[in-house]
Amino acid sequence: MKITVVGGTGTVGSLVVEAAQARGHEAIPASRSTGVDVTTGEGLNEALRGADAVIDVSSMPTLSVSPAVKFFSTAAKNVLAAAEAAEVPHVVRLSIIGVDRNPHGFYAGQLAMEKIYNDAAVPTTILRAAQFHEFAAQTLQRSTLGPVVLAPRARVQPVAGWEVAEKLVSLAEGQPLGRAADLAGPHEEDLAEMVRAYARSQGSRRLILPVRLPVPMMRGMAAGLQLPREGAQLGTETFAEWLGVVGDGASSSKTDT
């Protein structure tokens, strides 16, 4: 199969490309670095032409509602329009567990994107996954204030990025499902403790203070609204296992295979 991976040079996108290639597919990464811009549609028609499936993992870093809704809505419309024009038979989109239960901040954008995919003329599958193990590193970076880290308290059940990538490719190989079963990791974790463990694994001696952030999105996470419900699939790699093999915090145990 020829699979175009939209957002294919990012953290999860690069893993999807690797997983697709390992399964014998021709994987084409499509991102700004390859001349594709999902916010303007530039390069999308060319990138999707001749694809047997598209996996869309495009994203942006923001915690604010307006930028998130604008980005994900625009990107979804542009990707789906290009897929329809190219007569792509299946588009698989990555989302996040619980965005309907906690439709705030970044998750508001994900929910808006899901609604557009649900109404698409192109056959689609949406996979909601939990936060990746790499979320600890990202949170550490965003929460550091000089010598202090304000680590947010949240209930999460993180999953290995490579397991999400393999699932996305497996879905692209099959028939459109509309919604696939959610995918989470094997154990619930406290995000603040994940941040602390990751920081210590990198040799950091900053003071790490667990805090409960008052913004609606983080209150929802602290209440467990991003945890998997009955019927979800569970991955195998734990956060502790990922932490034991991670080098610089940018890859997991299977990113080199």
Asked whether residue 50 is assigned to any structural domain, the reply reads yes
| pLDDT at residue 148, as a whole number | 93
Asked whether residue 166 is assigned to any structural domain, the reply reads yes
| pLDDT at residue 192, as a whole number | 95
C-alpha distances (whole Å) from 18 to each of 13, 38, 217, 228 are 9, 22, 32, 26
DSSP secondary structure code for residue 103 in this structure:
-
Asked whether residue 253 is assigned to any structural domain, the reply reads no
| pLDDT at residue 248, as a whole number | 46
Its domain, for residue 185, covers: 2-245
| pLDDT at residue 256, as a whole number | 26
Backbone torsions φ then ψ of 146, nearest 5 degrees: 65, -125
DSSP assignment string, 203-252: T---EEEEE---SHHHHHHHTTTTS--TT-EE-S--HHHHHHH-SSSS--
State the Cα–Cα distance between residues 5 and 255, nearest whole angstrom: 17
Radius of gyration of the chain measured on its C-alpha atoms: 18
- The strand pairing partners of 128, in sequence order, are 95
Residue 31 sits in a domain whose CATH number is 3.40.50.720
Residue 42 and residue 36 in contact, taking contact as beta carbons nearer than 8 Å: yes
| pLDDT at residue 55, as a whole number | 98
| pLDDT at residue 246, as a whole number | 72
CA atoms within 13 A on the CB side of 221: 27
| pLDDT at residue 25, as a whole number | 98
Residues of the chain with pLDDT under 50: 248-257
Give the amino acid at 183.
L
First to last CA, the chain: 20
Asked whether residue 150 is assigned to any structural domain, the reply reads yes
Q: How many domains does the chain have?
A: 1
Asked whether residue 252 is assigned to any structural domain, the reply reads no
Tens digit of each residue's pLDDT (9 = 90 or more) over 204-245: 888 999 999 989 999 999 999 999 999 999 999 999 999 987
Asked whether residue 254 is assigned to any structural domain, the reply reads no
Asked whether residue 257 is assigned to any structural domain, the reply reads no
